[in-house]
Structure 1
């Protein structure tokens, strides 16, 4: 097993981001990269070569990566990339389809597909990346492709086995000898194949009503993660959950509500909670509205009054003052 380590502190600040771009080009695929921290980028990456499989634990500052058609034409290693998020948040978009990932989520990409990824939010992100050639997966045609762009749970079942293996391998590789690399790579290929096959079989096993309930939970979770985005809309939600907009509306109709109504109710509830929070009493009402996706304060005030029969300012004031009774 061959291991290499890159620490940005070993280079002058001006050279760090360019070298990190080169490292990702070698371990994953060539990328266009930008970061607000490019002038003094902080990153630590270890690369473990396990035969044809590569594992690379890394901790790095927020950045945005783009895998463009031009770069694909220039160089395509023909690999699947899996990433286990250990700390922080990440996301990816394929045109209008967008997915967000959090800790313990596994996500899948294909080096032959254009994609934009971002990572880190306001803090550094810690991940374990896995690269494996597509031809190593002994799966029916198209099955692995269905895993691309969807969060796979790393906290249960086969996903937990894979996540635990990657985490353990990434934390300490000193106990393995040179001949162990290809064996460990084979184990990883088998775990990935098992996870993909299990996920596909679980989908087929769901009866229609159970599938609808599962989808409704997934959609609601996506909405909750993206309430802050004023551009959150049915088209975005449907694309992220791999369904049509019309089917999305039917899911909510079966729940006795609408997509827009559900988003508005969740935003208002989050805003109401913040207005009652003593720790946020110095934050203007307009700022609270904006942090939950309301671009216009007047629209927020009208919606809040319609929902709770009181204005946001009156509600906040009542929560601060003791009840005269």
Structure 2
């Protein structure tokens, strides 16, 4: 069960074989577009990412695991005791271990390492280190993903994808805020982070406008262009870069959507604010190393369409 839900893992029940008739466990997965959320619970268990699993393995993710019950983690030389609400960042390219002597329950956000690296560097010292439940940004993240777990099955895939934008940014905020030593610094980050989330939401809703820019955002929020640039810089990017990335990701998702299979590539380009098909093709190739037409007919595009049609997350 754990093997299929996360990255390749060995799950070893503590005090039993795992074949007992009264064994209790579950794994529920939500595709949030940019990342995956897994709600996983189990009787007392030790979950191991062993060195042998890394040989020739293509898993390349960061996992932010949020403990819903007391447990412990071991990553490299770092051992952390996790209380309810604590979180720990794990790296799928290195051995790690999670264990719980009583019922185990974690909410796990899985995000490609490359996506994290584009936004912020992650020091090895941060991996495996406990992020305290009292962290105010972590509290916001916990509340958001708890709502998704409760009502996720009622959301359609497009709604979950929109929520994924917010969850992804909150995850980055948790990692950044964990580096701040004083509460004033955290509060300052939260202020700009709230603005950043609102600005990114504005951008997603106005992608089809060709002239969308930092100036457009500044006018909509009644602030200066300089302020918009500062808010995005603290988020690890720039307004222009974020607009381009959001356009290319939305275009990728449209090309993979079974509901838009008959829609022309030029129409999809216009829907993300790019009126020139040649410019769209060049930009798409820069971001995804493949042309829009090639992606639509590629195994990745077909796999994504099948997953959406079947109501399951892409493999």
How far apart, CA to CA, are the structure 2 residues paired with 1:110 and 1:95?
10
SS in 2 for 1:81: strand
Counterparts in 2 of 1:262-273, with a 5 A limit?
Answer: none
- Which residue does the alignment assign to 1:103? 84
Classify the secondary structure of the residue corresponding to 2:119. coil
Structure 1 segments, 4+ long, off by >3 Å, are none
Work out the CA distance in 1 between the residues paired with 2:4 and 2:26: 15
Instruction: Identify if the C-alpha distance between structure 1 residues 85 and 57 changes in structure 2 by more than 3 Å, giving closer, same or farther.
Output: same
2:133 is matched with which residue? 154
Counterpart for residue 74 of structure 1: 56
In 2, are the aligned partners of 1:29 and 1:76 still within 8 Å (CA)?
Answer: no
- Measured against aligned partners, the alpha-carbon deviations of 1:32-78 in whole angstroms (never above 9, x if no partner) come to 22113312232122111111411111221011122122101232421
Moved more, 38-47 or 99-108: 38-47
Indicate the SS of the match to 2:68: strand
Deviations 1:233-261 (A, max 9, x none): xxxxxxxxxxxxxxxxxxxxxxxxxxxxx
Is 1:85–1:106's contact at 8 Å kept on the other side of the alignment? yes
Root-mean-square deviation over aligned CA pairs: 2.3
Equivalence map 1:33-44=2 (5 Å): 33-35=11-13, 36-37=15-16, 38-40=18-20, 41-44=23-26
How many residues are aligned here? 180
Distance 1:141 1:44 in 2: 33
Secondary structure in structure 1 of the residue aligned to 2:175: helix
Write the distance in 2 (CA, Å) between the matches of 1:53 and 1:193: 12
Partner residue in 1 for 2:233: none
Is 1:125 the counterpart of 2:104 in the alignment?
Answer: yes
Q: Which moved more, 1:38-47 or 1:160-169?
A: 38-47
Once residues 151 and 133 of structure 2 are traced to their aligned partners in structure 1, the CA distance between those partners, rounded to angstroms, is: 20
The residue that corresponds to 1:56 in the other structure is 38
**For residues 176 and 146 of structure 1, do their structure 2 counterparts lie closer, same or farther at Cα, with a shift above 3 Å needed?**
farther
User: Rg larger in 1 or in 2?
Assistant: 1
TM-score between the two structures when normalised by the length of structure 1: 0.51
Does the residue aligned with 2:79 lie in a helix, a strand or coil? strand
Return the offset for 1:131: 0.7
TM-score (norm 2): 0.52
Q: Does 1:140 align with 2:120?
A: yes
Within a 5 Å distance, the mapping from 1:307-318 to structure 2 comes to none
In the alignment, the residues of structure 2 paired with residue 141 and residue 96 of structure 1 have an alpha-carbon distance, to the nearest angstrom, of: 20
- Which segments of 5 or more consecutive residues in structure 2 lack a partner in the other structure? 186-315
Q: What SS class does the counterpart of residue 157 from structure 2 fall into? A: coil
Q: Trace 1:180-259 onto structure 2 (pairs within 5 A).
A: 180-202=159-181
Q: CA deviation at 1:95?
A: 4.6
The answer to whether residue 9 in structure 2 is matched with residue 31 in structure 1 is yes
Q: Tell me, what secondary structure is at the counterpart of 1:93?
A: strand
Distance in 2 between residues matched to 1:193 and 1:200, nearest whole Å: 12
Distance 1:32 1:128, change over 3 A: same
Contact kept in structure 2, 1:154 and 1:163, CA below 8 Å: no
SS in 1 for 2:139: helix
Q: Which stretches in structure 1 are left out of the alignment for 5+ residues?
A: 1-19, 207-325
Distance 1:174 1:31, change over 3 A: closer
Rounded Cα–Cα distance in structure 1 between residues aligned with 2:170 and 2:11: 30
